[in-house]
Amino acid sequence: MDPVTRRNFIKSVIAAGATASSVGYLFRGPNTVIGQSSAPGAVERLITLNVNGQMRRVDVLKNETLAMTLRYKLGLTGTKLGCDRAECGACTVLIDDVPHYSCSVLTHTVRSRAVMSIEGLENPATGELHPMQRGVVEEQGFQCAFCMPGFIMSAIGFLKVNPIPTRQELAHGVSGNLCRCQDYDKILTALTKGAEYMRGASNA
């Protein structure tokens, strides 16, 4: 998949037949009024998404972002919206193992891809935490933790391409994520611990 840039995003919106106005970000709920005149992008289409290893059937708008689908259609509220404009990374999810800002990905573009959100990290059979989650819990990596799901997904995605990063490389790997409690020191320590556990798990 092409890297997500604003340009690609806007192109994608236009390709979907929707306008790239701010209305594109707004949410149209499941209880659409009958007889309503059809605004641009107002028609929902039933699609199938692969989310956290499950095939989910969901009605989406042409201009609906993945963050809104996850949060408001699939009940996966662990993905947070901090800015809705690709600035803060709180909404980061993995798409085919690559971190993406889900606020800036149109849902219809990920139909044939594997989407992983924070809720998909635990072992579905045992309920065991993902090694990265374990590292974050043990080091108490975050404070208010609103940014935590995004940081964890970014870190896991980054570690797939660089499994043994230096502390500085890991900082670069998650530099698309903002934290306002701002103990970046402890965040890095926790993610480093998680990276160690991930290596241990893959060697086991």
Partner 1 sequence: MPDGKLVGSNYIPPDHIAKVTGRAKYAEDFRADGMLFTKLLLSPMPHARVLYIDKEGALALPGVKAILTADDLPDLNGAEKALTNEPLYAGEPILAIAAVDEASAAAAIEAIQVDLEPLPWVIDPLDSLRPGGPNARRNGNVWAAPQPPVPGAPPAPPPVDTVKWTEQDFTDDEGEGGRLPMGRALEEWSFGDLEAGFTKADLVLDETFVVQSTGHHPMETRSAMAYWQNGKLYLHASTQSVAATVAGIARWCGITPADVVLICEFTGGGFGSKGAGAVSSAIPAMLSKKANAPVMMRISREEESYIGRARTNMSGRARVGFMKDGKITALDLFLVQDSGAYGPMGDHRSAGNAASLIYQPGAMRWRAINVITNTPPRTQQRSPGPMQADGIMEGIVTKAAKQLGLDQVAIRRINAPEGKAIYGPPNPNGTRLHTTSAFVKEALDRGVEVFDWEARKARSGQRRGPKVSGIGVAVGPHGAGSVGFDSIMTIRPDGRLYVQSGVGNLGTHSVFDLARAAADVLAMPWEKVEVIWGNTGKHLPNTCLSVGSQTTHAMTRANHAGAMDAKRKLQEIAAMDLGGSPDDYDIGNERVFRRGNPGRGLSYAQAAKRAIELGGRFDGHALPDEIHQITKTSAAGLVGLGLMGVAKDTYPRDGNTFSFVVGFAEVEVDVETGKVTLVDYLSVGDVGKIVNPRSLMAQLNGGSCLGIAHALCQKWVIDPQYGVTLARRFHHNKPLTILDVPNRLQATALDLPDPETPVGARGVGEPPVGAGYGAVLNAIADAIGVDAFRRAPVTADIVLMSLEHGRRMHEPLRAHL
Judged by the rule CB under 8 A, the positions of this chain that interact with partner 1 are 23, 26-29, 31-33, 35-37, 39, 42, 71, 75-85, 87-88, 90, 117-119, 121-122, 129, 133, 136-138, 140, 142-149, 152, 167-168, 171-172, 174-175, 177-188
State the minimum distance, in angstroms, from the CB of residue 3 to partner 1. Answer: 18
Give whichever of 39 and 161 is closer to partner 1, judged by the CB atom: 39
Give whichever of 37 and 126 is closer to partner 1, judged by the CB atom: 37
CA distance 166 to 122: 26
Give whichever of 1 and 181 is closer to partner 1, judged by the CB atom: 181
- DSSP letter string, the chain: -----HHHHHHHHHHTT---SGGGGS---SSPPTT----TT--EEEEEEEETTEEEEEEEETT-BHHHIIIIIS--TTS--SSSSSSS-TTEEEETTEEEEGGGSBGGGGTTSEEE-GGG-S-TTT-PPPHHHHHHHHHT--SS-SSHHHHHHHHHHHHHH-SS--HHHHHHHTTT---SS--HHHHHHHHHHHHHHHHHHHH-
State the minimum distance, in angstroms, from the CB of residue 58 to partner 1. Answer: 16
Give whichever of 90 and 105 is closer to partner 1, judged by the CB atom: 90
State the minimum distance, in angstroms, from the CB of residue 62 to partner 1. Answer: 12
State the minimum distance, in angstroms, from the CB of residue 139 to partner 1. Answer: 8
State the minimum distance, in angstroms, from the CB of residue 93 to partner 1. Answer: 11
Give whichever of 94 and 147 is closer to partner 1, judged by the CB atom: 147
